[in-house]
Structure 1
Amino acid sequence: MPSNTSLQRYLTPVLLLGLLVVSNCAPERPQQTSAPQSTEEPAATDPTLRTIESGRLSGLIQENGSLAWRNIPYARPPVGDLRWKLPQGVENWDGVYEAVNTIQPCPQFVSGLSAGIPDTDGDGIVGNEDCLYLSVYAPSDIPEDEALPVMYWIFGGGNNSGYAGDYNGGILAESQDVIVVTVNYRLGSLGWFLHPAILEDNASGAAASGNWSTVDTIAGLEWIQDNITAFGGDPDNVTIFGESAGGGNVMSLVTSPMAEGLFHRAIVQSGGIGTTSIEAGINYTDDTVPGHAHSSKEIVNMLLIRDGLAANRDAAKVLQDSMTNDEIRELLYSQSASEFLKLYNPNAARNYPAPKKFTDGTVFVEQDPLEQLASGNYNQVPIILGTNRDERRIYLYGAWADTIRSDPEEYIRFAHYPSLQWKWRGVDNLARRMTDAQQAPVYAFRFDWDEQQTREDGFDMGIAIGAAHSTEMAFVFGDWGVGFINPDMLYDPSTNAGRDALSDAMMSYWSNFAYSGEPGQGRSNNLPEWQAWQNGDGNPKMIILDSEADGGIRMSTEEVIQESIKASFMAESWSDPQNRCRAYLSTFAGTAAFDQTEYEGLIEGGCSRE
């Protein structure tokens, strides 16, 4: 936790899912800000009774026999004056804390990723700022003479949505003899925000970084170091793993000097890497070094205009520059979470643009993260990097329903190239650098399972969804309720045997990696050997994870580079020429591979401006 020595040393300077959901079928959960405490003494034979640094707690026995302790506070609530502050150590409690409730979300807009969380006031936002909790899952039979590997799950959701309570690690823990920890962390502009006015006098290091959310996940790792032995876990064998934005947050910990020594392996599922400059996070958009459109100073401008204190942006800027830090701070801290978030996102979309992950020199080094990986200046541990073959289909299938029925090959073609770009960005481009920079092995995977059902109306979910973004999570957790699509609308009973076997294999690989630092042949020791990535043509690159019916689990030498994506794209034929234009933008816009002249000449007559 932040009070510990390894985090205290940083208090002074040292150094996507806009998801279409088929059905929100999760049961309603009551809104809670903390688990209750009990003054009654539990039975002496209660197998869940534990003592940690903050006090005693009890949990519950789950249906599959696994033990669970939910909603454990790992930091004080970041409310009031603790908003936009480093996570603070938990106060000790009396009696026995009943760790049985589901972790509730940090503030976020209503979406498929908050399914089951009631919007009681109808403002389009759910969650509470009192949200820094984690849960621990353990097997029913915890060895007395052996500390089990710890797997620390960081959920995804664009860093704007999602919550740890949506993931139950009990099946993974019970079947693989590991301890699973799921952690909540602050989201969006409540998790990454930096304005000079909110900093305390002489604030420095992490306390002046604006990276409150990243330090939350570090505080959770500190909590593990201090407390996990009480649950049978080994603090010297911690694997961090996460998906989507959670995978990106795993990479943040890999590159953050503050996280050094707090974990020992890493798994990145559909992640990536990226940071934002301090200037982009703070400055006005018309400064010499321009800030983001939603930088902290531009947000204050919006507040002043919204409250009628300034007629327009120019007047707001003049007024803000004349205000004292105390006046600006009072204005910012007087905002409710809902009022504040709506400044960024008046249309209430799940994801909203806000700068995150500031290169402050303490939490994140002042270096391009790709250059940092190439230099070897990061927390070098055995690592798995992976994506799903059809990442982008999850974002497309609703709008493309007619094409899926009439011209499925066009849909597959359109989704293929941005999915391939995701693989380059999240796996190949990182693996090449890290393999040259570290002695610890780098492993890669591609998840290919696509044997979903065809609905009664003839709509083929295997084409619409396929091996899309987030679909691998249920396989990793062995829990078909994990994910954001109603399983009754997704899985086909006729293919469930192959699905279940692939899930068993993936859990076996993931847990063996947690035990040994290499997936090998899995914990079962009977799976195809998962070889490390080797640079060079023809060498092993990744393992393909699929059912026996579709080729099974197998190694591949396939490698993706920007040039190969571009060459394949330019040779492609399209049913609708405008889809060529749209796919080009979807694949290459915002990357070094985008060429405006090339784009304008893609098709005869030019690409539509619509």
Structure 2
Amino acid sequence: GFLALADLTRESEHHSSGNYALLDQIAALQWVQNNIAGFGGDSHDVMIFGHSAGASNVSSLLASPLAHGLFQRALMESGVNLTKGVTLAEAEKRGEEFEAAAAAHSVADLRRMPAEELLKALGPRPMGMGLIVDGWVLPQDVYSTFAAGKQNDVPLVVGSVANDTPGPAAAPSSGAARSDYAKRTFGTLADQYLNFYPVKDDAQAAAADLQFRSDRAMANARALARLQVKTGKSPVYWYWFTHVSPFPEGLTWGGKPAKDFGAYHGSELVYVFDAFPFQDWPWRPVDLRLGDMVSSMWINFAKTGNPNGAGLPEWPAYQPSADKLLNISDHPKAQKPPQGAALDFQDKVAETQRR
């Protein structure tokens, strides 16, 4: 979906390669524009939404001029891409590394290979392949596009969950090693990192890393909301999903009790789709009520561009001066983010990484 090669760039009338996954999504949206009326749909009433990598793609479609006019609302769950992006030249270099791993010497060689051989060459990780600032599909990265007011300006919903993207600790737990890691990774912000995410042992290191990633996801959502308010005309709504599902007794993930994952990455999806009959967990009345609420809000937003409605908690459009999100919990309410200072730190980290 994101393989860039100099040979492919030369083949393209747009002098670009990679971003094929985005082009597929744009083609699907164009198909909707041309055909949905035949199914009783309205081509002028389209919402796109995604979760995780899908949400990252949605944020990229908001920045792509090729997607202009193809949708009227966008919703992003736990995945806003605000990095400075990979240039076409950098992406082509990574493509050459893949070509070498596949023992190929040209695009023609790659095209002749069975899919199994290509997957074997790719390995367990996709060699850093991803969204490319190629000058055509994405003239600029998402952050720069919004900052310049060049985004596809539509109503937005953006948010994350309380315990987003769990995984093994990336930073060491011991004092000296962690301090060195902080200096290498965060430079002049190292002391702030150590203050916001202190650890004493391996268990705390894993928890601190999870908190760091969760704060990053939350800060990215807020950053996009702030950019939209600053340069766009359409409203944006920010949420934070903190409700913890009732895990079945004895359920483990990766050898750990599932209940330890809290409001984990993707935990909101069963509520979004009100899909409780399809997941055999000990659901409680509060879960069913929350499912009705969340699915109603998402549907309202899809219909009107505003998630609010009768019988639902008030969800104000985001304004930086108020800095309020909707905390989707057992008792949903609009509030300021409790970890505001940590989010401000995350903003500083993101700013240095975009330079």
Q: Do the two structures share a fold, i.e. TM-score over 0.5?
A: yes
1:452 to 227, 238, 246: 246
1:376 matched to 2:149: yes
Q: Say if 1:503 and 1:429 are closer, same or farther in 2 by CA, change over 3 A.
A: same
Within 5 A, what are the aligned runs for 1:125-140? none
Q: Say if 1:228 and 1:410 are closer, same or farther in 2 by CA, change over 3 A.
A: same
Aligned residue number for residue 234 of structure 2: 440
Q: Say if 1:359 and 1:375 are closer, same or farther in 2 by CA, change over 3 A.
A: same
After TM superposition, give the deviation of residue 385 of structure 1 in Å: 0.4
After TM superposition, give the deviation of residue 235 of structure 1 in Å: 0.8
* Aligned residues: CA RMSD: 3.0
1:558 matched to 2:337: yes
Aligned residue number for residue 4 of structure 2: 194
2:109 to 331, 346, 354: 331
Alpha carbons 1:541, 1:559 under 8 Å: kept: no
Aligned residue number for residue 392 of structure 1: 165
SS at match of 1:249: helix
> Which protein, 1 or 2, shows the higher relative CO under an 8 Å CA cutoff with sep ≥ 6?
2
Aligned residue number for residue 98 of structure 1: none
1:364 matched to 2:143: no
- Identical aligned residues as a percent: 27
* Letter aligned with residue 208 of structure 1: S
* Letter aligned with residue 340 of structure 1: L
Q: Say if 1:559 and 1:217 are closer, same or farther in 2 by CA, change over 3 A.
A: farther
SS at match of 1:197: helix
* Letter aligned with residue 294 of structure 2: M
Q: Deviations over 1:107-165 (max 9, x none)?
A: xxxxxxxxxxxxxxxxxxxxxxxxxxxxxxxxxxxxxxxxxxxxxxxxxxxxxxxxxxx
Aligned residue number for residue 204 of structure 1: 13
CA distance in 2, matches of 1:462, 1:435: 38
Q: Say if 1:498 and 1:226 are closer, same or farther in 2 by CA, change over 3 A.
A: same
Q: Say if 1:341 and 1:540 are closer, same or farther in 2 by CA, change over 3 A.
A: same
Q: Deviations over 1:496-543 (max 9, x none)?
A: 21111111111110111111111112xxx111111111012xx15210
Aligned residue number for residue 61 of structure 2: 253
2:50 to 231, 236, 242: 242
Alpha carbons 1:454, 1:461 under 8 Å: kept: no
SS at match of 1:234: coil
* Letter aligned with residue 91 of structure 2: G
1:264 matched to 2:72: yes
SS at match of 2:108: helix
Q: Say if 1:211 and 1:566 are closer, same or farther in 2 by CA, change over 3 A.
A: closer
Q: List runs of 5+ in structure 1 lacking aligned partners.
A: 1-190, 284-294, 308-319, 321-327, 398-406, 568-586, 595-610
Alpha carbons 1:444, 1:541 under 8 Å: kept: yes
CA distance in 2, matches of 1:250, 1:378: 12
1:534 to 319, 330, 334: 319
Q: Say if 1:564 and 1:465 are closer, same or farther in 2 by CA, change over 3 A.
A: closer
Structure 2 length as normaliser, TM-score?
Answer: 0.80
2:328 to 542, 545, 549: 545
Alpha carbons 1:534, 1:540 under 8 Å: kept: yes
After TM superposition, give the deviation of residue 222 of structure 1 in Å: 0.9
1:515 matched to 2:289: no
After TM superposition, give the deviation of residue 199 of structure 1 in Å: 5.2
Alpha carbons 2:16, 2:136 under 8 Å: kept: no
Higher helix share: 2
Q: Deviations over 1:239-287 (max 9, x none)?
A: 000000000011111000000000000000001114321011113xxxx
Q: Say if 1:560 and 1:369 are closer, same or farther in 2 by CA, change over 3 A.
A: farther
Q: List runs of 5+ in structure 2 lacking aligned partners.
A: 170-201
After TM superposition, give the deviation of residue 419 of structure 1 in Å: 1.0
Structure 1 length as normaliser, TM-score?
Answer: 0.48
1:355 matched to 2:165: no
* Letter aligned with residue 216 of structure 2: Q
Larger radius of gyration: 1
